[in-house]
A = this chain, B = another copy of it.
């Protein structure tokens, strides 16, 4: 591929002129720029971003690591992130990983590319690597997960508050034998939701919920749901740590155990993914507003851009959500409409 010097030769100018022709606001006359552009067009030249990045020390690339694209929530977030960061002139270098795996290898790889920032979703980071990122001045942003390391940014939903509201809601609706379906034991997300749920139940002087683990996956949730429902005295209310598992639980309850969601059993999720509002599910859930979360994550990325002396005290941002009541916890079914 043609280089700037080739274009320069053809246009009869210096390589600097070519560079300036492609730089917004550089000191160059209209005439020269014009001549350069013609030559560039002719040779199919475009500036080599790699060389530019090498020189500037910024790649305009953000590394994104996520497990579990199966979960539509993450697909939605990725989509939004892509839009938002693209608008901010950043590209996304994406890695997917086996869910919840330690991803040091991939991240190490990303660091080789001198990414401007690192966004981690549903993923853990070793503290040694976190320190290295810190040292390299690369901001690390956890989305929907809290980093163990304090230097990292994080953007999460209101896990504990949401879980408390869900607990109250289930009790108010008259469900009595409750269960919590966890994701991963070492996920802050799952733990916080569990804590909020259990604490609030305790506060209401309700018995502690039965605990089971669905591993944030559909298969795991199906197994966990079966395990719960085939008991002699099964629970009549299940709070699943996310919508993805809640949908699976609804399917098992309805189609394997013949239960009517809402009436025979209450099921609640977390996230408010699109499918939660589909008439086939009508899942009660607590929202994690993707717009604000992504907006905040983008801010963190750009924050690191202008390395303005460690500003912004609050590194752990919590985005408020709200409880969406749907048929899956409604004793008397409401008319369903196919929305969205």
Question: A-side interface residues toward B, CB under 8 Å?
Answer: 1, 44, 46-51, 53-54, 59, 61, 69-70, 72, 75-76, 78-79, 82-83, 86, 91-96, 106, 108-114, 132, 135-137, 218-219, 222, 247-248, 250-252, 254-256, 274-275, 278-281, 336-338, 340
Contacts and interface: CB of A to CB of B under 8 A. Distances in A.
A113 B96 contact: no
Given A252-B338, A280-B281, 16 more contacts: A44-B135, A49-B113, A54-B54, A69-B75, A69-B76, A70-B79, A70-B274, A82-B96, A86-B95, A86-B106, A93-B93, A94-B94, A254-B279, A255-B279, A255-B337, A256-B338
Contacts of A113: 49-50, 91
A202 to B, nearest CB: 33
Contact of A50 (B70, B114, B247, B279): B114
A48 B111 CA distance: 9
A96 B83 contact: yes
Main secondary structure on A side of the interface with B: helix
The complex is assembled from copies of this chain, and their number is: 2
Given A95-B86, A254-B279, A114 B48 contact: yes
Given A46-B111, A50-B54, A112-B49, A251 B279 contact: yes
A147 to B, nearest CB: 19
Contacts of A50: 50, 53-54, 59, 113-114
Given A51-B54, A53-B50, A280-B254, A61 B96 contact: no
A2 to B, nearest CB: 9
10 A-B pairs with the lowest CB-CB distances in the bound complex, closest first: A255-B279, A49-B112, A69-B79, A82-B96, A75-B75, A280-B280, A94-B94, A50-B54, A49-B113, A92-B94
